[in-house]
Structure 1
């Protein structure tokens, strides 16, 4: 099943798709363009931890002229970066290079500590799409993205749906695509990840406890381009939908 969270007439609702519209938890059917979309996560639990992978696709590492890592390259993100579907992302006035990153995102379903790889699927509630924008001007070290690169308010659109894990037959065989103003600029497949979904759950839970609602952003393939004010960016993943976002100048 697909789940969303939206604001309709000033009230937050859980919603599911129904005949091209949204079925609110009140039983009301409304058009998708009459709501404000939120990240598709329940208010409780909210993510205590947001983990994000760098260089988790060999082609993207090559694109950035780096060797593919032997161990996950990870950074932490703050919750204030998250916004919903069809919302605006602010580009800093001084930015010269700001690009999208279409990423399969794991939503943790239950407390995970020292989980074995073969058991990892049972700890995943579902999947969603993240567009993890990076402002490369602020980067001090490709291997350790600093706070200003990856933790800016509005710079991580998430959604539109949280799709139950049971409805995704194989998370490691999903096509990814990004378009900017209707032009395809990125295409890839989750099968090309260096560190797959189950490995990541095992890896993180081996040294830290993952809690329900925590997020793991799994990296992006090659094909990133600069995004300018007014650009409409659509990040899509097979089975998860199309996450629409527009860039505005701060």
Structure 2
């Protein structure tokens, strides 16, 4: 089933879509507040059947764009896996043999239909369509075999990148290291350091939703079509079968050094393949100069659409 969060009478409410214009508002179930998606993700194993039974006889209401919210409005963290598409192997000169990445703040999230806000001074900004994991039961040191027991579901994300800001925030320095010949002495080594600050973590750089597809409704998370459309032109379309590290690998590695918590969001990385001989790559669509709207569709999960506002 699909679940999300809407704003109803000034408060967040858990909801299930009935159609494009109507949702069921879910009641409090088994001590789980109908306003708390985080609690539902953690207790899905015991509350899931009750939620399924509640959909239909619950409280159907019409929904409009102003009443939508990110499906998880304030996750503990958003962990992003970098360069995880198999197409990257030809352009990676040197890199880790594990799923490396970075963290984004919840303030970067915007809901389906909410504008992506860009500034001309920030330079080019391109969208990157991602499959995202929603963590249910948290944990540390999670095994590969037990990884899916900690997955609540999947959602759609459009991960914005502004390369100019990355270049502006990169340090070229002489890093201090202990000498190999004598660890009590130091030496200076040429180094380039770039932190995922503004170019990834800016407000509105993480559109999400509109719904979470629970784990049991996605038959194969590594056989999903990921499609991004800019002004009705597909750029690009690819498959989650191309991911270098699978969901279980990512959950296992991430939990080996940081505790995963209920409602955490993990991005699996972007679709890279061009859409046909005249198709564009993700980097070709500069939303700062071209504007929107921009859509990301993942088969079986849903379509995320956002307009674009550009300011000086």
Q: Same fold (TM over 0.5)?
A: yes
The 8 Å contact of residues 8 and 34 in structure 1, kept in 2 or not, is answered as no
| CA offsets 1:124-153 (integer angstroms, 9 cap, x no match) | 011111111011111136995520011111
Q: Please point out which of 203, 228, 242 is paired with 2:303.
A: 242
The 8 Å contact of residues 6 and 13 in structure 2, kept in 1 or not, is answered as yes
1:125 aligns to 2:152 (yes or no): yes
Larger radius of gyration: 2
- For 1:214-225, what aligned pairs fall within 5 Å after superposition? 214-222=264-272, 223-224=281-282, 225=285
2:235 — aligned with what?
185
2:86 — aligned with what?
58
1:96 Cα deviation from its structure 2 partner: 2.8
Residue 249 of structure 2 aligns to a residue in which SS? helix
1: CA distance between counterparts of 2:221 and 2:62? Answer: 29
2: CA distance between counterparts of 1:24 and 1:68? Answer: 49
2:143 — aligned with what?
116
How many aligned positions are there? Answer: 245
1:68 Cα deviation from its structure 2 partner: 7.6
Cα 1:71–1:34 shift into 2, 3 Å: closer
Cα 1:86–1:61 shift into 2, 3 Å: farther
The 8 Å contact of residues 60 and 221 in structure 1, kept in 2 or not, is answered as no
Cα 1:34–1:108 shift into 2, 3 Å: closer
Q: Please point out which of 146, 153, 160 is paired with 2:210.
A: 160
Q: Please point out which of 283, 286, 300 is paired with 1:226.
A: 286
Gaps of 5+ in 1: none
1:39 — aligned with what?
70
The 8 Å contact of residues 98 and 253 in structure 2, kept in 1 or not, is answered as no
| CA offsets 1:14-61 (integer angstroms, 9 cap, x no match) | 1111144212236443334354321102x6xx4222110111113256
Cα-Cα RMSD: 2.1
2:14 — aligned with what?
14
Gaps of 5+ in 2: 28-57, 171-191, 273-280
Residue 71 of structure 2 aligns to a residue in which SS? coil
Q: Please point out which of 174, 198, 202 is paired with 2:224.
A: 174
Deviation above 6 Å: which 4+ runs of structure 1?
none
| CA offsets 1:86-132 (integer angstroms, 9 cap, x no match) | 11111122133101111111111112211111111111011111111
2: CA distance between counterparts of 1:19 and 1:148? Answer: 37
1:73 — aligned with what?
100
Residue 179 of structure 1 aligns to a residue in which SS? strand
2: CA distance between counterparts of 1:166 and 1:143? Answer: 41
Q: Which moved more, 1:23-32 or 1:177-186?
A: 23-32
Normalised by the length of structure 2, the TM-score is 0.73
Q: Which moved more, 1:46-55 or 1:115-124?
A: 46-55
